[in-house]
Chains A and B, each alone.
Chain A
Amino acid sequence: MSYTELTVWTRGIIMDKEGRDIVNSISASARTEGKYAQAMENYVDNPDRTNAPTRKYCRVSDSVLENELTYENEHPNIVVLVEGTMVKGWDYMRGMPPGGTLVINTHYSPEYMIRFVPGPERLAQLVCVDAAKLADHKWLYYRLGELGLDRLSTEGAAERSRKIAPDIAAPLIAAVVKTTNIVKMATITPMIANKHAFDMALEELKIMQLNPVAV
């Protein structure tokens, strides 16, 4: 019986859609595969915190989710950092059982990034993907103001784009699915709006294999 928790760390409002797209698309894929799956946002993160760290959760299981009403993923097997600088400053690895996967959106290599990861000995793999570049993500640094206006709330009140993963979420989803097989490539691919960035990412992942130990 398999049960997997995926936790995505992102930045409030300006990058909330990216985080939301990752958990929603993976959860929807799992359900089309006949599994039980749930996607949600961290409830206490939901108030509008621009740029502050916010969490999105996904749970995928072969059996019915009896913990559907619990607030947080307590033992994430997979953690995604939607923005590279989030690698420092807090314990996003908390609760991860040995054998986990960490995916970071960064142009740095895993060899460079691993020094910032708290408790890296639990990891089976550290995956770096330059999602911003692959998605030609110019607005991240130059259009923050406009982005803030477009996305008035962490709950997605005023999103103009109804597409799933039009931006940097696409390469990150590719990284998660390719390295963890949480869902099948065939079920997730049709959902992704930015197919170019998704396909490019499959070729350009930087994966560091590790030997996880219990902490």
Chain B
Amino acid sequence: MPTVLEKKKTVRINGCVASAQAAKYADVDVIAAYPIRPYTATMMALAQMVANGELDAEYIVADSEHSQLSIAHGAASSGARVFTGSSGVGVQFAYELYSPISGSRMPVQMMIADRTLDPPGDFGSEHTDALSTRDMGWLMGWACDAQEAFDNHLMAYRIGEDPRVLLPQMVCQDGFFVSHITGDVELPDPTQVKEFLPPYKHPYPLDPRHPVSHGPQIMPEQGPPLQLERARAMEGSMAVIEEVHKEFGEIFGRKYDPWVEEFMTDDAEVVFFLQGAHAVTARFAIQHMREKGLKVGMARLRTIRPYPTDRVCEVLSKFKVVGVIETNMALGSPASGGALYADACAALYEAKERPLVISFMAGMGGEAIVLKEFYWMAEKMMQALKRGKIEKRTHWVGFEE
């Protein structure tokens, strides 16, 4: 442990600035920027840091998100620590690059401040933008406030750059609910970061003195081992993720469960299962319902890729009813609602005691989920508990009695 922590300080910043600060503390080498709301404020903050001489990095403004991720890919291939980011349709426009980056095992980091896709294309947060890329081989998880966003960035670099992993990371936060809401964020002493996050060293960077090939054309028979290796890297990252979270807690004093945060679940019968910032309001709603004697709790998913199947199964199978709050669109999916339901049900399949599972479509278009909507969802779960079966798989909150 470092003994002198004189440069540790608490500042009042929003999620966007917290992400920029994290990139600065991670001492990134290359920043690939292209503006789109709401994540833009992160790149604005980084541009100021570079201009002020606070951060020594190449700041490249691309002509599109596709170029942005291409720059990130190239820079990472040459051995640079890379920071990039996007929101909403910007995430989609770069889609072609996601598989090549994870396929070439480049630990690029991408900050996502969620925004709805078109339609409605407003600035509010739906997780569909990042979630639509969830099977592309990127580590992925959501923060629920600015401090957690900051911490997740540092942890993601450490995990992704671990030679046992070497995978890119999407570090996600809700647009507005995290990106534009200010909170007290503890910025660490640089010696703490130095101890936690060593300088990035890729084992096979592009270097004319030591020629290597990246991404060469292969024959079909070379495909299976290549893909298996990437799948194993993703699976193998789980042990590293746990290790890194533990070490982060020891150095910085903030201990996160890498997979699922449980809130008031000890004797809970019905729980909300969600990810991201709506957990903040959910905690208040649960406290109020607890005062009235309802056995309600929350399980918040912190990492969705790799999916903590065993952990989700172990946690959710303790309850009678699970209400999945989606905040994303998965049209025509198993519940005909959101994407989180299918993963949760798949994880629960092997459980001895399975809870009833309901999918709630709430917060669409980035609408705030207010207390009374949590009460309404809890009521639906209570009814299902009483009845012993669900009324239907998916409820659209705000459209039903």
Could you tell me which A residues sit within 8 Å of B by CB distance?
28, 38-41, 43-44, 46-47, 64, 66-71, 153, 155, 157-158
Residue in B37, B44, B180, B371 whose beta carbon sits within 8 Å of that of A40 in the complex:
B180
Residue in B12, B38, B41, B180 whose beta carbon sits within 8 Å of that of A28 in the complex:
B12
With both beta carbons as reference points, the residue of chain B lying nearest to A42 in the complex is identified as B180
Report how far A28 CA is from B177 CA in the complex, Å: 20
10 A-B pairs whose Cβ atoms sit less than 8 Å apart in the complex? A38-B181, A38-B182, A67-B370, A69-B176, A69-B281, A70-B368, A153-B44, A155-B40, A157-B44, A157-B47
Question: Does chain A have a CB within 8 A of B123?
Answer: yes
With both beta carbons as reference points, the residue of chain B lying nearest to A152 in the complex is identified as B44
Given A67-B370, A69-B277: 11 more A-B contacts, CB < 8 Å: A38-B182, A39-B182, A40-B182, A43-B123, A43-B124, A44-B122, A46-B38, A68-B281, A69-B181, A69-B368, A71-B368
Minimum C-beta distance from A136 to chain B (A): 29
Say whether B48 contacts A157, CB under 8 Å: yes
Question: Does chain A have a CB within 8 A of B5?
Answer: no
Could you tell me which B residues sit within 8 Å of A by CB distance?
12, 37-38, 40-41, 44, 47-48, 122-124, 176-177, 180-182, 277-278, 280-281, 284, 368, 370-371
Residue in B180, B182, B371 whose beta carbon sits within 8 Å of that of A43 in the complex:
B180
Asked whether A70 and B370 contact (CB < 8 A) given A46-B37, A47-B37, the answer is yes
Report how far A94 CA is from B86 CA in the complex, Å: 35
Report how far A68 CA is from B278 CA in the complex, Å: 11
Say whether A66 contacts B284, CB under 8 Å: yes
Report how far A38 CA is from B177 CA in the complex, Å: 13
Report how far A43 CA is from B40 CA in the complex, Å: 13
Minimum C-beta distance from B353 to chain A (A): 34
- Rank and list the top 6 A-B pairs by shortest CB-CB distance, nearest first: A157-B44, A66-B284, A70-B368, A69-B177, A43-B176, A155-B41
Minimum C-beta distance from A54 to chain B (A): 14
Report how far A155 CA is from B37 CA in the complex, Å: 11
- Which chain B residues border A69 with CB–CB below 8 Å? 176-177, 181, 277-278, 280-281, 368
Asked whether A40 and B370 contact (CB < 8 A) given A46-B37, A155-B41, the answer is no
A-side interface mostly: loop
Say whether A40 contacts B181, CB under 8 Å: yes
Asked whether A68 and B181 contact (CB < 8 A) given A46-B37, A155-B40, A155-B41, the answer is yes
Report how far A47 CA is from B176 CA in the complex, Å: 13
With both beta carbons as reference points, the residue of chain A lying nearest to B48 in the complex is identified as A157
Report how far A28 CA is from B13 CA in the complex, Å: 12
- Which chain A residues border B40 with CB–CB below 8 Å? 155
Report how far A40 CA is from B41 CA in the complex, Å: 14
Minimum C-beta distance from B368 to chain A (A): 5
Residue in B44, B123, B181 whose beta carbon sits within 8 Å of that of A155 in the complex:
B44
Minimum C-beta distance from B397 to chain A (A): 16
Minimum C-beta distance from B299 to chain A (A): 19
- Which chain A residues border B370 with CB–CB below 8 Å? 67, 70
Residue of A38, A44, A68 with highest tally of chain B CB at under 10 A: A68
With both beta carbons as reference points, the residue of chain A lying nearest to B179 in the complex is identified as A43
Report how far A153 CA is from B38 CA in the complex, Å: 13
Minimum C-beta distance from B47 to chain A (A): 8
With both beta carbons as reference points, the residue of chain B lying nearest to A156 in the complex is identified as B44
- Which chain B residues border A39 with CB–CB below 8 Å? 182
Report how far A38 CA is from B176 CA in the complex, Å: 14
Report how far A69 CA is from B276 CA in the complex, Å: 12
Report how far A28 CA is from B196 CA in the complex, Å: 32
Report how far A43 CA is from B370 CA in the complex, Å: 17
- Which chain A residues border B371 with CB–CB below 8 Å? 66
Report how far A40 CA is from B38 CA in the complex, Å: 14
Minimum C-beta distance from A8 to chain B (A): 16
Report how far A66 CA is from B176 CA in the complex, Å: 16
Minimum C-beta distance from B40 to chain A (A): 7
Report how far A81 CA is from B182 CA in the complex, Å: 24
- Which chain B residues border A67 with CB–CB below 8 Å? 370
With both beta carbons as reference points, the residue of chain B lying nearest to A153 in the complex is identified as B44
Report how far A38 CA is from B180 CA in the complex, Å: 11
- Which chain B residues border A70 with CB–CB below 8 Å? 368, 370
Report how far A153 CA is from B42 CA in the complex, Å: 13
With both beta carbons as reference points, the residue of chain B lying nearest to A64 in the complex is identified as B284
- Which chain B residues border A68 with CB–CB below 8 Å? 181, 280-281
- Which chain A residues border B284 with CB–CB below 8 Å? 64, 66
Minimum C-beta distance from B42 to chain A (A): 11
- Which chain B residues border A28 with CB–CB below 8 Å? 12
Residue of A43, A44, A47, A66 with highest tally of chain B CB at under 10 A: A43
Report how far A186 CA is from B298 CA in the complex, Å: 42
- Which chain A residues border B47 with CB–CB below 8 Å? 157
Report how far A29 CA is from B37 CA in the complex, Å: 30
- Which chain A residues border B368 with CB–CB below 8 Å? 69-71
- Which chain A residues border B181 with CB–CB below 8 Å? 38, 40, 68-69
Minimum C-beta distance from B130 to chain A (A): 19
Minimum C-beta distance from A131 to chain B (A): 25
- Which chain B residues border A158 with CB–CB below 8 Å? 48
With both beta carbons as reference points, the residue of chain A lying nearest to B370 in the complex is identified as A70
- Which chain A residues border B182 with CB–CB below 8 Å? 38-40
Report how far A69 CA is from B123 CA in the complex, Å: 14
- Which chain B residues border A157 with CB–CB below 8 Å? 41, 44, 47-48
Report how far A46 CA is from B281 CA in the complex, Å: 24
Minimum C-beta distance from B184 to chain A (A): 9
- Which chain B residues border A44 with CB–CB below 8 Å? 122-123
